[in-house]
Amino acid sequence: MRATAVACANIAFAKYWGKADPWLNIPAVPSISLTLRGLETVTTVELNPALECDEITIDGELLSPPESKRAVELLDAVRACAQSRCFAKVLSRNNFPKASGLASSASGFAALSVAARAAYGLPFDPVESSRLARRGSASAARSLFGGYVELPQGLPGDDSLAARPLYPPEHWELRLVVAIVCEQPKKMGSRPAMEQTRASSPYYAAWLEHAPKLAQRIREAIAKRDIEALGHASEASFQAMHAAAWAAEPSIFYLEPASVEALHTIRSMREKEGIPVFATMDAGPQVKAICLPEHAEAIAQRLSNTKGVLRVLITQPGPAASLIESPS
């Protein structure tokens, strides 16, 4: 029994940061993202009765037991559902660098959840796969769907939480220009960083109160295809998330000098040249510019000429996760 699935990365406009339930990995705030065409993980899951444990290989590297823990937990959940005891070999490939600051965990857990269910004989079900992926990494729940996607906030104990599609990719031809400023692995993963923010930041409570309001503005802006409204609310979301993390003790600070330069480039194009372009950032130093297709090339050019920017990618709305090979 063997199945292969593909899923794309996503970038959030309304950021998920903080958990209502750390055991079930349930977000404390709603998040809204865009799935990105071409930034893909392809994952094959093959059942093998001769194996004594799951074997997980990502981009040619066999993961150690601690590294494979979350993927094995996902496989355990699928096995429980399928009433199987058979271990699996998992081969996963990203077509974008792991350390490029584009979350490969989102596309990775999304592709794994689709391929694993199919390999264990369960029917294709994006909502079920989104739930499964959420436990692995909550941002991955959104990569099950194409285009504009929401993962609502959840309640402790509510393991049914899954993402839902808001609009297909064709709804709005936005572009996200990614300025890569550092290719080293990030300083601190999202999971421990969220926990440190919750445990010690005086601004965490303010973030929890404010984030749903920003998500509402972002939902409305996407519905109306209003770039100004989307851009201002998205900047506010990432800045409030970073501010809460920055105020933690010890402080969590993801910006590199080149990130600050890139943020200035974006602001100056907007304020001095009147181009509707807005920034967002995740738990890392890369800067992503949100813009319309007609401005993407000029923005990419300016970002690639910005001090410290290593390279630039132009991305666009992408499709839902899918099966590319199912067991015959």
Under the rule (CB under 6 A), what is the footprint of ligand DP6? 12, 15-17, 25, 31, 103, 105, 137-139, 190-191, 282-283
Asked if 193 contacts 244 with a C-beta cutoff of 8 angstroms, the reply is no
User: What are the start-end ranges of the E strands in the chain?
Assistant: 2-14, 19-21, 26-27, 31-47, 55-58, 61-62, 88-94, 148-151, 164-167, 175-180, 278-280, 287-291, 311-315, 322-325
Asked if 287 contacts 259 with a C-beta cutoff of 8 angstroms, the reply is yes
Nearer to ligand DP6, 87 or 146 (CB): 146
What is the Cα–Cα distance from 113 to 140, expressed in whole angstroms? 10
Dihedral angle of Cα 255, 259, 260, 264, to the nearest 10 degrees: -150
What is the Cα–Cα distance from 48 to 127, expressed in whole angstroms? 27
Nearer to ligand DP6, 27 or 169 (CB): 27
- Cβ 198 to ligand DP6 shortest distance, Å: 12
- Cβ 190 to ligand DP6 shortest distance, Å: 4
Nearer to ligand DP6, 56 or 269 (CB): 56
Report the amino acid identity of residue 147. Answer: G
Residue with tokens 């823990």: 69
- Cβ 327 to ligand DP6 shortest distance, Å: 29
- Cβ 84 to ligand DP6 shortest distance, Å: 26
Nearer to ligand DP6, 23 or 294 (CB): 23
Asked if 155 contacts 38 with a C-beta cutoff of 8 angstroms, the reply is no
> Could you count the other beta carbons within 10 Å of the beta carbon of residue 311?
13
Nearer to ligand DP6, 45 or 102 (CB): 102
Nearest residue to 239 via CA among 260, 224, 265, 269? 260
- Cβ 282 to ligand DP6 shortest distance, Å: 4
- Cβ 298 to ligand DP6 shortest distance, Å: 27
- Cβ 199 to ligand DP6 shortest distance, Å: 14
Nearer to ligand DP6, 17 or 204 (CB): 17
Tell me the DSSP string of 66-82: HHHHHHHHHHHHHHHHH
Nearer to ligand DP6, 147 or 269 (CB): 147
